[in-house]
Amino acid sequence: MIRLLVFLAALVGLAFGFSWLADHPGEASITWFGQRVETDTTTLGIGLVVLIVAVLILLAIVRLIWNAPGSIGSFFGRRRREKGWAALSRGMIAVGAGDLGTAVKASADARAHLGDEPLALLLEAQQAQLLGDRGTARRAFETMLDDPRTRLLGLRGLYVEAVRWGDGPGAAHYAEAAHRAAPRLAWAGQALVEYRTRSRDWQGALEAIDQNRRHGIIDKPAARRLRAVVLTADGLERESSAPDVVRGTALEAHGLAPDLVPAATLAARLAARAGDLRNAGRVLEAAWKVAPHPEIAEAYAHLRPGDGARDRLARVTKLTEIRANHPEGVIALARAQIEAQDFAAARAALKPILADGATRRVCLLMARIEEGEGGTPGAVRGWLTRAVHAPRDAAWVADGFVSDHWAAVSPINGRLDAFEWKIPSEDVAALAWEDPADEADETLALSGSIVPVETVRTAVEPAAPPAPEPAPVAQAPAPAPTSAQAPAPATAVEPPAAVPEAPAETLAASAGPAAAPEATPAPKAAPANPARPSAEIVELQPHMPDDPGPDLTETPPAPKRFRLFS
């Protein structure tokens, strides 16, 4: 718009000038090489204008001829760059779409037209990654290191390649180089923390966390949490070798993250080992108030070494009063009552949880109660079988990995502070009831019980009654009792119906003389017992009875107490 106004103003001025010359005519005389030219001023002005225009046109032609080679080169260079950018655009789209053939062709065209353009190098590296050509990708990213504008991009690419091919030291080297070049780079700071924790360089990890906090990569709450996790991991590693040194760091970790259970239990153990039982108890009570946890209850119960079961029960009772009616407190109290041989109180404590749905830990505790009260093997066996199919309890879970113990880093991907106390999402597949003893082994393995498997096998197998005295040949065998005559076990839940076994003499008589000498095959994982049913009866009764019932051929033996749990 301004140019148009200037042009119009110049045109008006020129017209006004010619008009003024026309109104004021004059004469002009020019002598040039002996020639004299006389004319009026109007004609002279028009001639001067024409001369100036001709000179400008001539200069433009000369300049065009002079710049022709450069203009021609610029034209072809511009076309080459346009083709390169078009190829680069096609290649980026092909890489995003996974079109490998188009990406390779477009990358070659982009490099041919654009040379070492950063985006062309990036396209070449990405198509090499699609092909799995590690060498080409590495060379492309290393070329970016020479240009300060693309140095961080090259370090990022080399880091990704090292992670992809499992080169941990190389990835840590590139992350550290990028962190030195740009301390505010988020991926470099986080990667540096992870690799230092993975290599158990706890002090280096603490320094990296502090740097990330100063540069705004992580906020203050996240930095406090990560610092507590690293201090706890360092304390657990040096708990035995340098307890006096890590006691202060454990207390610091508990102060930074009161809900971090391993930090609280570690601080309490170290304080108790130093004789400061009051401070140790306060730490566990504070952690229990934030989030009740079975490890806190276990540490609180065994706070003073050498205490008896009654002393531990009193201490656990005090702890559970802080968070009354919490499921973890109920389970901890019931466990302490079982250890103190107060089975009735333990059963009463677990009753509300049984109404809401018992988990595996609760079923195993009920089995201990039944065994401690002298219940029938069928009752104990029923609770063990129920534990197999009961819902799972909470455990330490990190990236789908379930562990019995907390760890600072995930064993799957090395992520810091990955373990969470929660119920695993994967459900255990239902087990076929082929051998209850095998189910008991699986239940104990899944629940983390420390009871020996041999003890469980002894308890879940029905006790073999003593062999009857040989009866006279002429004496008729006693009739087999019916299922209605078998006494039902008195338990909190109803185990499978008890079907009595027939005496050995009756089975032998029914099988005939030829079958009498043959030994009856014993069930899986059970001791040989001549009073067990024959093979034909086992086929009709695939589920063995929980309680074989009394042997009416002689006086039943006195009931035995089975010690399932120590």
170 and 113 in a single domain? The answer is no
368 and 440 in a single domain? The answer is yes
pLDDT at 298: 94
93 and 212 in a single domain? The answer is no
166 and 101 in a single domain? The answer is no
566 and 436 in a single domain? The answer is yes
Parent domain of 457: 357-392+427-464+491-497+533-549+561-566
pLDDT > 90 fraction of the chain, expressed in percent and rounded: 40
Higher-confidence position of 445 and 89: 89
110 and 207 in a single domain? The answer is no
Q: How confident is the model at residue 48 (pLDDT cuts 50, 70, 90)?
A: confident
Q: Looking at 18-32, 203-217, 237-251, 286-300, which range is the least confident one?
A: 18-32
- Whether 201 maps to a domain, the answer reads yes
Please say whether the beta carbons of 297 and 328 come within 8 A: yes
Q: Which amino acid is at 386?
A: R
Q: How confident is the model at residue 71 (pLDDT cuts 50, 70, 90)?
A: confident
376 and 450 in a single domain? The answer is yes
Higher-confidence position of 390 and 513: 390
Last residue within a domain, chosen from 91, 110, 134: 134
pLDDT at 286: 94
Indicate if the pLDDT at residue 161 is higher than 80. Answer: yes
In tens, the pLDDT along 360-371 reads 999 999 999 999
Q: Look up residue 134 and give its two tokens.
A: 């590690």
pLDDT at 36: 80
Please say whether the beta carbons of 421 and 403 come within 8 A: no
pLDDT at 513: 36
How far is it, in rounded angstroms, from Cα 162 to Cα 7? 65
Section 5-30 average pLDDT? 80
181 and 108 in a single domain? The answer is no
Name the domain count of the chain: 4
- Whether 9 maps to a domain, the answer reads yes
- Whether 191 maps to a domain, the answer reads yes
Number of residues assigned to the chain: 566
130 and 151 in a single domain? The answer is no
Please say whether the beta carbons of 320 and 328 come within 8 A: no
Strands (E), 407-447: 420-422
How far is it, in rounded angstroms, from Cα 411 to Cα 417? 11
Q: How confident is the model at residue 220 (pLDDT cuts 50, 70, 90)?
A: very high
How far is it, in rounded angstroms, from Cα 359 to Cα 392? 6
- Whether 343 maps to a domain, the answer reads no
150 and 173 in a single domain? The answer is yes
pLDDT at 426: 57
- Whether 261 maps to a domain, the answer reads no
In tens, the pLDDT along 290-333 reads 999 999 999 999 988 888 999 999 999 999 999 988 999 999 99
- Whether 203 maps to a domain, the answer reads yes
Q: Look up residue 93 and give its two tokens.
A: 């789209």
pLDDT at 397: 94
- Whether 238 maps to a domain, the answer reads no
155 and 187 in a single domain? The answer is yes
Ramachandran class of 524: left when φ > 0, alpha when ψ lies in -120 to 50, beta otherwise: beta
44 and 105 in a single domain? The answer is no
| Residue owning tokens 């008991």 | 440
Q: What is the CATH number of the domain that holds 185?
A: 1.25.40
Give the count of beta carbons closer than 10 Å to the beta carbon of residue 274.
13
Indicate if the pLDDT at residue 509 is higher than 70. Answer: no
Q: Look up residue 432 and give its two tokens.
A: 């076929």
SS3 238: coil
Over the chain, what is the mean pLDDT? Answer: 77
User: Buried b / exposed e across 543-556, counting CB within 10 Å, b at 16+?
Assistant: ebbbbbbbbbbeee
Q: How confident is the model at residue 534 (pLDDT cuts 50, 70, 90)?
A: very low
SS3 213: helix
Indicate if the pLDDT at residue 57 is higher than 50. Answer: yes
User: Buried b / exposed e across 235-249, counting CB within 10 Å, b at 16+?
Assistant: bbeebeeeeeebbeb
In tens, the pLDDT along 170-196 reads 999 999 999 999 999 999 999 999 999
N- to C-terminal Cα separation, the chain = 100
Section 418-447 average pLDDT? 52
Q: Which residues pair with 27 in a beta bridge?
A: 40
- Whether 232 maps to a domain, the answer reads no
